[in-house]
Structure 1
Amino acid sequence: MKTVVAGGQVLEKIMFTDEYTQRAYDEVLRRNSDEPEFLQAVHEVFASVEPVIREHPEFRDAGVLERIAEPERLVQFRVAWTDDAGHVRVNRGYRVQFSSVLGPYKGGLRFHPSVNQSIIKFLGFEQTFKNSLTGLPMGGGKGGSDFDPKGKSDGEVMRFCQAFMTELQRHIGPFTDVPAGDIGVGGREIGYLFGQYRRIRDEYSGVLTGKPLEFGGSLARTEATGYGLCYFTNKALESLRGESLDGKTVAVSGSGNVAIFAIEKAQQMGATVVSASDSTGYVHDPHGIDLDVLKDVKIDHHGRIAEYAERVDSAEYHEGSRGVWSIACDVALPCATQNEIGADDADALIANGCTVVCEGANMPSTPEAIERYREHHVLYGPAKAANAGGVAVSGLEMSQNSIRLSWTFEGVDQRLHQIMDDIFTTCADAAERYGAAGDLMLGANAAGFLKVASAMTAQGLM
């Protein structure tokens, strides 16, 4: 039994049944004891894949767990830029290249004050297995900076992106590492990053995804994570419960692209979505979110969620974003940030009738919340499966760039829908194979890990 402590707070008590898994995790803990988010992600995967390790002793002999938890490469660099007043500002930039065993490193860039090495490593680790589940030839990576684009002028964002890419371009390329957007990195930032890469390298290639349509972006990429989340949720409901999103009351957190397009697709599927949130608070609209108003507030004018309630009579605004989980609902789709649902939030959801939680954000549920889901037989769709639609369409954008063609929105959306259905089936089949039918978290981790571990073993020690 071991205890992980960060910032004076006990995060997890760790005990594995397999001696090799325990030994490998102890080494990860020793090397990364000050990285709680990364340790949380590693512990979840290691706990899930113990039956896979028992079935494949060759993974033990090849040291797969020790290797899979150590990134192939981690780069930290200084980003110096000037603000509009001419003052020099300095931020930290990161790129973790976790695994290239299945293809070029693939994963987003996050610009947010919370970004640090632990966050980047947890995201890159998760991305490796998420990309594996899509069935597309992509490895796992992630990157970003503690730069905050909020409140910055376009000129300041451009100068930061140019300084960031001046260093990052040494480490990426269309056959090496293909970053995309994430929190704080949208079409504007991708455009500035792509322009600087092209200027320095003198090449026009699919080195970034999430690009605007005018220079190589894919239709349906903006909608992909939110749409894919709903496709996965609906498939899980149909397969495990004989139900669908039609007629369900849905609570959504967040109000970025993932949340907005999850709301849009859930409404198209017949659900009533009653909430949205941002870092300041949340709105509850029992009549159903007015998507046109929400898009105008958040996409067109980059406003605060309180402005939605000022414009919609049926909506109430509440300070404190976590209160969104006190709303009565059938289905919860957390689409904001990591660890936004704790044990108390999970208890509130369950007490108010929620029976399904599928994750649009990365690792939004704490381990304690996940235990609550299991205790109360909540249908739980983990992030690495449920929110894989974004990176799936990024993979499809890479394909379109390679063949110099663009597919229709309907064509991309059809491929996305099939990929998300296939991800559910892969997870469900793996869960049943390893004696945990219906446990999609175990299924996602086991299936994603098995593919990566098998490739690592086949390609030899490296």
Structure 2
Amino acid sequence: MQTAKNYIDNVYETVVKRDPHEEEFLQAVKEIFQSLTPVFAKNPKYIEHNILERIVEPERLISFRVPWVDDQGKVQINRGFRVQFNSAIGPYKGGLRFHPSVNASIIKFLGFEQTFKNALTGQAIGGGKGGSDFDPKGKSDAEIMRFTQSFMTELSRYIGSDVDVPAGDIGVGAREIGYMFGQYKRLRGHFDAGVLTGKSVDYGGSLGRTEATGYGTVYFVEEMLRDQDLSFSGSTVVVSGSGNVSIYAIEKAQEFGAKVVACSDSNGYIYDENGICLDTLKRIKEVERCRICEYVKEHPHAEYHEGSEGIWTLPCDIALPCATQNEINEQSAKILVSNGVKAVGEGANMPSNLAAIDVFLENKILFAPGKAANAGGVAVSALEMAQNSSRVPWSLEKVDAKLKEIMIDIYKNSTHASEEYGHPGNLVVGSNIAGFVKVADAMIMQGVI
């Protein structure tokens, strides 16, 4: 019989041979596989059922052409994707990302991570993800509407409230969700509120969904800090990004008494030694849809620096990477450590590469991995599904209380798994194991499908 390590190594080699150019997907697979040796050693049933090889292969990967007409009357073509990765514990659930970097590898990595993240929430939702290499920046509302209508015309064949429920992600907010929902309703001829989440509260959305990922990240990190007699209160915090996740992580961190001194966009970052003015940031990014550099025009004491990667050279007690994958590399991690960082909480999906994670763990930095710390968004999306099914909206207070409860449970379950399998305090290992075991057990119970 194969040893646990041999089995895991052999499956990983198979994945590499099948998908040698899918760097992001291979990185996500490797990061999870590194945690699983004690699980397979203790539970040989997972080897007997060949769970690992089954779980890394998506149930379905859909790609399609998206033709649309720009404001000059010219036909444009983009690629659309949807990966329906695993439905062992519920219908596929995961966001849609509109960004030029989107390709099959990124969608597969996101869907793979989503499978375990969704399992951690304790809700009945499987893993999926999708999107397009369409860039909404610089496009008119009319262009975005025409693109999203074309995108949904194809995607509508594969989704439904009990099949696959997409949501928003980078480049997909309430505007894009609204256009897609309208097109789905037009195509299907009926009102299916549960087919998309992240909707406006005017037609079935949930209060608190916009804030959920950022708030959830801070709730998780605060619980992690509390176990070490630390807190956001009085801490200096750096948050990368300036989208929904970043803005509401900043808001909740400030509510908890932190001083947030920096945030960024893809062009550069701002540093405000007095603390970021949230009202200005919200107006610039949510209302005016401008670049972050506009902040210094209203706050001339603040500094703007070209190049967003420089944000990690700033000294801070807590770092919250909330922008995109692999934004913190080994060098940035070492700088953060040398500058005295105490905790890192991932608000984005896989924002720290494997070498950076090793640096944090080797230096005993408190580290909250994305699949656990940023699960708040999908958790509240599932709460939105529950409200749509019952046709009863919840108050903001009820949603937020449930979100906080879910994030604390994720922390506790990840901590328990890390201790049970011999890696106390390692939340990377703990969250990977806790999510994997739930999905794997469901797959075994449902047979070979």
Q: Same fold (TM over 0.5)?
A: yes
Give the match for residue 183 of structure 1.
170
Give the match for residue 378 of structure 2.
391
| 1:308-343 deviation line (CA, Å, top 9, x unaligned) | 112113310011001000111000000000000001
> SS where residue 166 of structure 2 aligns?
strand
Q: Following the alignment from structure 2 to structure 1, what is the Cα–Cα distance between the partners of residues 362 and 230?
A: 21
So what's the TM-score if we normalise by structure 1? 0.96
Question: Which of these residues, 249, 267, 281, is aligned with residue 262 of structure 1?
Answer: 249
> SS where residue 34 of structure 2 aligns?
helix
Query: After the TM superposition, which segments of 4 or more aligned residues of structure 1 sit over 4 Å from their partners?
Result: none
Correspondence 1:69 to 2:56: yes
Give the match for residue 220 of structure 1.
208
Q: Following the alignment from structure 2 to structure 1, what is the Cα–Cα distance between the partners of residues 213 and 324?
A: 14
Q: CA deviation at 1:211?
A: 0.2
Question: Which of these residues, 141, 150, 156, is aligned with residue 137 of structure 2?
Answer: 150
Q: How does 1:308-387 map to 2 (within 5 A)?
A: 308-387=295-374
So what's the TM-score if we normalise by structure 2? 0.99
Give the match for residue 251 of structure 1.
238
Question: Which of these residues, 259, 265, 276, is aligned with residue 278 of structure 1?
Answer: 265
Count of residue correspondences: 446
Correspondence 1:101 to 2:88: yes
Q: Following the alignment from structure 2 to structure 1, what is the Cα–Cα distance between the partners of residues 334 and 89?
A: 39
Matched residue type, 1:181 = G
Correspondence 1:203 to 2:190: yes
| 1:88-121 deviation line (CA, Å, top 9, x unaligned) | 1000000000000010000000000000000000
Q: CA deviation at 1:17?
A: 6.9
Correspondence 1:91 to 2:64: no
Give the match for residue 3 of structure 1.
none
- Checking the alignment, whether the CA contact within 8 Å between 2:174 and 2:198 is kept in structure 1 is yes
Correspondence 1:432 to 2:432: no
Question: Which of these residues, 66, 85, 104, is aligned with residue 117 of structure 1?
Answer: 104
| Structure 2 segments unaligned to the other structure (5+ residues) | none
Q: Following the alignment from structure 2 to structure 1, what is the Cα–Cα distance between the partners of residues 405 and 4?
A: 36
Matched residue type, 1:53 = F
- Checking the alignment, whether the CA contact within 8 Å between 2:115 and 2:126 is kept in structure 1 is yes
Q: CA deviation at 1:203?
A: 2.1
Matched residue type, 1:122 = F
Question: Which of these residues, 436, 441, 444, is aligned with residue 449 of structure 1?
Answer: 436
Tell me the C-alpha RMSD between the 2 structures.
Answer: 0.8
Q: Following the alignment from structure 1 to structure 2, what is the Cα–Cα distance between the partners of residues 361 and 374?
A: 19
| 1:282-332 deviation line (CA, Å, top 9, x unaligned) | 001111100000011111101111111121133100110010001110000
> SS where residue 217 of structure 1 aligns?
coil
Correspondence 1:301 to 2:304: no
Q: Following the alignment from structure 1 to structure 2, what is the Cα–Cα distance between the partners of residues 354 and 382?
A: 16
- Checking the alignment, whether the CA contact within 8 Å between 2:4 and 2:41 is kept in structure 1 is no
- Checking the alignment, whether the CA contact within 8 Å between 2:4 and 2:40 is kept in structure 1 is no
> SS where residue 98 of structure 1 aligns?
strand
